[in-house]
Structure 1
Amino acid sequence: MAISYANHIPPKGYGVLLSCSVSLEDKEKNEPFKKGHKMKTYQEWQALRATIKVPYNAYINGQFVAAQSGDTFDCINPTDESLLAKVASCDSADVDLAVAAAKQTFKSGIWSELAPGKRKRILHKWADLLEQHQDELALIDTLDMGKSISEMVGIDVPDSLDCLRWSAECIDKLYGEIAPTNPQNLALISREPLGVVAIITPWNYPLMMVMWKIAPALAAGNSVILKPSEKSPLSALRIAQLATEAGMPDGVFNVLPGFGHTAGKALALHYDIGTLAFTGSSRVAGMLMQYAGQSNMKRVWLEAGGKSPCLVFDDCKDIKAAAKGAATAIFTNQGEVCIACSRLYLHSSIKEEFMVELLKAAREYVPADPLDPATKMGPMVDKAQFDNVSGFIQSAIDDGATLELGGVPEYQQGKGFFMNPTIFSDADHSMRFVQEEIFGPVLAVMTFETEDEAIELANDSKYGLGAAIWTNDLSRAHRVSRKLESGMVWVNTWGDGDTTVPFGGVKASGNGRDKSWHALEKYTEIKNTWIRL
């Protein structure tokens, strides 16, 4: 079903205005963005906000439908605490409906057996539509979870488009193999789509995390059921609608907004789902593995929590750049980043100089309206996360860490969930805020004396997602990178990468990888066909 969007005539389940009155200072920032797309002014973003509408119902078999129970949940703008939409709250009944539609579509072959070139063209057309609506998608995620509009326009949307187009190009370039058997036999090794794939995504990068998973899953020929986080479900519903407009058959891509203990659990327990991919907390990741074992032993691919270390050695020649990088690694996206370097280890000889530059860089992250293109730090996603981060800050104070910047924020109802960048020095590994993932702008600073001690401290964590090293010694960079228990290591930078490289971790940070060729391994089955000649 192709739905006209230009004239704003909404079908049932589509059409909540994102507009609401706000009393914020009028701003006229218009900073050009690196990636080529012209950044709107604050006034232009507000004007766009007053005109666009968002879907609020589940998307099943090419249609927006209410939850069968009729239940909804409130989708709140964390900047001003206004209501964006009452979104359908799906549960097991809706999961059964979506799985049945996805399974039937998969078996029909309308997508799973579509010629690779044709499937690729549909995904490219979908990417073109997403690009046409990129400002709308950027605005939706900014309003939904509070991330800065500059990051959405400059990072999230371009990365999402790149992932979709890159995955589309993989479709007709994924070859099978012939095993080296004796001449009397022919052994073919092929990859096939798994069937119905369930995907559960987090709230911190609503569009980008969704695309990292659905793009390769759809490219491989699967039917997909996506459960976006209940904290930021709106862009997922919008892109599903655009997928239909691009020509994707009904039932191939379905979106079920809802909670983890209802829709998420039902997906993990369902016998007709072949694999489940998840990004979120380590606690929930473990529960999903148990549910898979209780049902059909479906594969479960997990990208879970992180507590990434950043190591700055005494041979680092550009302390200012390293300090700026360390601040970026913890305060980007309000610290709501799985790879955030929340543990900073400094060689003791450079601590004093480094802290001066670090505090200077951190003060640039002033919490403000994320629709202002100049804003680098928006609010926490909701009151629960605001309270959780506040609790960690208080625990650090109680445990004796030295507060260098920020502190426990004061909450004012109706004014948003804004958190200041917070830095503690004199931290140690006995402190709760050093060991547990905070998912907020809170940094623990510690020192080391030797390379071996730095490695030991960095690895003293149940997590192993990302790590950063700052050094001008090439041999040290290689040596330390090899010894760090981490799925990703950045040297003299943080967070860099593109669709060509895998993303994922080890230990309690999960398994499997997003992005690159390796993502396709999660969404395909290897078949061996042995032929006697």
Structure 2
Amino acid sequence: MPPVVQQDAEVRLAGNAVILKPPPQAPLSAIRLGELISEVLPPGVVNIVNGASPAPGVAIAAHPEIERIAFIGSERTGRDIQRVAAGAGVKHVSLELGGKNAMVVLGDAGIEAAAQGAVFGMNFTATQGESCGSNSRLLVHRSIADRVLARVVELVEQIEVGVPVSESTEMGALVSREHFERVSRYIEIGREEGAVVATGGGRPAHLPEGLFVAPTVFSGVTPGMTIAQEEIFGPVLSVLTFDTDDEAVEIANGVRYGLTASVWTQDVDRAHRFVEDLRAGYVWINDSSRHFPGLPFGGVKASGIGKEESLEEILSFTQSKTVSIPRRGR
């Protein structure tokens, strides 16, 4: 949005009015943002709408005068927004939805760098793994799988889980009881389907109360298991193994999502071949989960449509108009 310009005692702005609907589990930061904005912008330019039911979101999607909708959340809700918006009119809808992101570690990759990248990319200490961009599937070449797994477990077990008011805490509780129960159920399903808990797998022993789940790593995971297919959106990392590049690509692409992916190798040419084959909207080579200003972020398949964090996103909130003026004498 361009800067505010004082002209003829009136404040004029170029751009869009905004309606921000935060999630019901975490409304306070958006409310505070609204308070700060109210000190510098006129009423009605930015509007914060809260609500625990689907009603506010449905009203926004169905309003005939709201032509541009951007949503970040679950695939199911994104599809509902598409359906409601299409029933109300022709709207521009962008969606940043779920992810079951693959981090592919080839046999020539550095063990320590890959293990550090896997733990960092899972966003354990950033969001308790509650991030659509977390690399929740770690695909490792069988020749180095045991060493990578062992180091990942060491690093994960060093994460300090606790209440956020403690300065030593690195990972807090999950966002709600409903989500705590959902993540806990996925851990049970992993065990039932034959995966092995390498670390974690439940509530931390020193936290008998609260919505805490220890950062969890499953080994022995196969591509068809539930924990390898469905987005858990919590601190649960599934480790799978492969023998060939083609098998790695097949496993990585074998889910409904396509948000992010990464490949770890010392062979740049080989890495770029993977980049071509991986069906994901954002791919790192020897890195994971790191965003850079101006680089478009967004997925393919069930992970959504449209891009964020870039000029492309800014332009998507504008409308172009073509004007043609004939030359004199025509």
Deviations 1:186-243 (A, max 9, x none): xxxxxxxxxxxxxxxxxxxxxxxxxxxxxxxxx9700001110000011111111111
1:371 to partner: Cα distance: 2.7
Query: Is 1:220–1:523's contact at 8 Å kept on the other side of the alignment?
Result: no
What is residue 311 of structure 1 aligned with on the other side? Answer: 104
1:349 to partner: Cα distance: 0.2
Please show how residues 32-71 of structure 1 align to structure 2 within 5 Å. none
Q: Aligned residues: percent identity?
A: 40
Is 1:225 matched with 2:9?
no
CA distance in 1: counterparts of 2:148 and 2:278, whole angstroms: 23
Q: 1:260 to 1:428 in 2, by over 3 A?
A: farther
CA distance in 2: counterparts of 1:259 and 1:272, whole angstroms: 24
Is 1:278 matched with 2:71?
yes
1:514 to partner: Cα distance: 1.0
Code of the residue aligned with 2:4 in structure 1: it is K
Is 1:518 matched with 2:315?
no
What is residue 493 of structure 1 aligned with on the other side? Answer: 287
1:297 to partner: Cα distance: 2.3
* Unpaired segments ≥5 residues, structure 1: 1-111, 121-218
1:376 to partner: Cα distance: 1.6
1:453 to partner: Cα distance: 1.0
Code of the residue aligned with 1:281 in structure 2: it is S
What is residue 236 of structure 1 aligned with on the other side? Answer: 30
Please show how residues 362-377 of structure 1 align to structure 2 within 5 Å. 362-377=156-171
Query: Is 1:220–1:520's contact at 8 Å kept on the other side of the alignment?
Result: no
Please show how residues 240-279 of structure 1 align to structure 2 within 5 Å. 240-246=34-40, 248-259=41-52, 261-279=54-72
CA distance in 1: counterparts of 2:158 and 2:91, whole angstroms: 46
CA distance in 1: counterparts of 2:81 and 2:307, whole angstroms: 17
Q: 1:360 to 1:302 in 2, by over 3 A?
A: same
After TM superposition, the runs of 4+ consecutive aligned structure 1 residues lying more than 4 A away are 410-414
CA distance in 1: counterparts of 2:155 and 2:184, whole angstroms: 22
Out of 237, 244, 260, the residue aligned to residue 466 of structure 1 is 260
CA distance in 2: counterparts of 1:238 and 1:309, whole angstroms: 36
Is 1:456 matched with 2:265?
no
Q: 1:414 to 1:375 in 2, by over 3 A?
A: closer
Is 1:378 matched with 2:264?
no
1:320 to partner: Cα distance: 1.2
CA distance in 2: counterparts of 1:346 and 1:302, whole angstroms: 30
Code of the residue aligned with 2:114 in structure 1: it is A
| Secondary structure of 1:238 counterpart | helix
What is residue 475 of structure 1 aligned with on the other side? Answer: 269
Question: Cα RMSD between the aligned structures?
Answer: 2.0
Code of the residue aligned with 1:369 in structure 2: it is V
Code of the residue aligned with 2:155 in structure 1: it is A
The structure carrying a bigger helix percent of its residues is 1
* Unpaired segments ≥5 residues, structure 2: 7-12
| Secondary structure of 1:272 counterpart | coil
Out of 85, 90, 94, the residue aligned to residue 292 of structure 1 is 85
Please show how residues 60-459 of structure 1 align to structure 2 within 5 Å. 116-118=2-4, 221-246=15-40, 248-259=41-52, 261-316=54-109, 318-330=110-122, 331-332=124-125, 333-409=127-203, 415-459=209-253
Query: Is 1:306–1:466's contact at 8 Å kept on the other side of the alignment?
Result: yes
1:428 to partner: Cα distance: 1.1
How many residue pairs get matched?
Answer: 319
Deviations 1:250-282 (A, max 9, x none): 100000011351101111111111111000000
1:499 to partner: Cα distance: 2.2
Q: 1:528 to 1:263 in 2, by over 3 A?
A: same
